[in-house]
Amino acid sequence: MDRRTFVGAAIAAPFIISSARAAELTLKLASFATDQSSWGRAQAKFKEEIEKRTDKRIEVGIFNNNTLGSNREVLELARRGSVDLVLTGVSHATRNVPQLNALIFPYLFKDRASMFGLLDGAVGAKLDQMMLTQNLSAAGWWDNGFRHVSNSKRPIMAASDIQGLKLRTLPTPVHVDFFKKIGAIPTPMDFSELMSALRQGVIDGQENPPAVMGSFRVYEVQKFYSLTGHANEPMVMVASDQTLKKIPAALMPAFKAAMAEATALQRSLNAQEETQTMETLRKNMQVNDVPAETLTAFRAAAQSVYGPAISTLGAGGEELIADIVKANA
C-alpha cells in the first residue's frame, strides 16, 4: 500500500466505523457449558433471537467453559452487576439464596413435567422474588436431568455398595447429609474442579445427569454409572437485577421472548439428546439399573434428612417444600 492509499484509508476509517450503529447494551453471559451441548446451543439461540428482535440494540457475548470464573465466582460478579447472565445449576446459587435448596431435595421430583410445571408457575415466581433480595433473578429454568452416581470402584447394586465411596456431590447441606446417611463420603467441590479430581484419584466418583456425563466426557475417567435417579437439579439462567434495570422498557418484551425461545429449545434438546448420550455411556462404561429394594433404602434415607434440611431453607422454604410435595403426590 502506497502512502496516499494508506492516508486515504486512515481518513475513511472513522467515517466507516461511525456509520455503523453501536449496540445500546452488550450483555455478558457466563456459563460452564460447552458450545455443542444443549445449554451452549440454547445460549446461542438466545443471542440470535435477542439481537434479531432488537435490531442489535442489545447484543450478547457468550463466555463458555468457565472462562469468566467458577460458578461461585460468576454468580458473585452477577450480584455486583459485572456479569449480566449466568447459567448454573441451582445448587451453586444456594450460597446466595438458600431457599433454592428446596429444588434439590433427594427423591423429591417424580419427573421433568411436574418440575417445570412448578418452576414455570407459582413456585418459580416465589423463588424469583427471593432471588431479587440478592440482586439476582431467574430469567429461565433449564433442564439438567436426573442425577445418577458414577465411580471407578464398583457398580451400585446393594445399598452397601455405595458405602466408603468418596463422591463429589452438590455443594449443599441436604446432599451432603443424604450421602453421609447412605454411607458415602461426600466431597463438595465446584464443577470446574471435578475432572482433575477424578483423573488424579482425589475422589472415587461423582453424581451427574447423562447430559453432563456426555458433554464433559466423564465416562473417560469413570468405569461405572449406576442409575440412582436421586435428584433432578434444574439449571437456572440467572440475570443480574442491575442488568434488568438497564434494559429499556421497550426492549424488555424482546428479552423475555428471546429467553423463552432459548428455554424451550434447551429443554427439547436435552430430552432428545439424553437417549443418544445413554447409548454412548453404555458403550464406554458399565451402566446398571439399581434394584428396587436399594432405591427404597435410599429414599428412606432421603426422607430422614428432610426435616433438618427444611430448617436451613430460610423464610418461605417450608412452604416451598409443601407446594412441591403436594404437586408430586
Write down the domain spans for the chain.
Answer: 22-144+233-274, 147-232+277-314
CATH superfamily of 147-232+277-314: Bacterial extracellular solute-binding protein, family 7 (3.40.190.170)
Nearest to 230 by CA among 162, 147, 144, 139: 147
**Continuous H helices in the chain:** 3-19, 38-53, 71-80, 90-93, 112-119, 122-132, 173-181, 194-199, 210-215, 241-246, 252-284, 292-310, 317-327
Chosen CATH of 22-144+233-274 out of 3.40.50.300, 3.30.310.50, 3.40.50.1000, 3.40.190.170: 3.40.190.170
pLDDT of residue 228: 98
pLDDT of residue 9: 39
pLDDT of residue 209: 95
pLDDT of residue 170: 84
Place of cell 431453607: 313
- Residue 305: phi, psi to the nearest 5? -100, -5
Q: pTM of this prediction?
A: 0.84
What is the rounded distance in angstroms from the CA atom of residue 67 to the CA atom of residue 33? 10
Place of cell 442489535: 56
Average pLDDT for runs of 10 along the chain of length 329: 39 36 91 94 98 98 96 96 97 92 92 94 96 97 96 98 96 91 94 93 96 94 97 96 97 98 97 93 98 97 93 90 85
Q: Is the CB of residue 24 less than 8 Å from the CB of residue 248?
A: yes
What is the rounded distance in angstroms from the CA atom of residue 285 to the CA atom of residue 220? 8
Q: Read off the C-alpha cell for 213.
A: 456425563
pLDDT of residue 21: 65
pLDDT of residue 46: 98
pLDDT of residue 25: 97
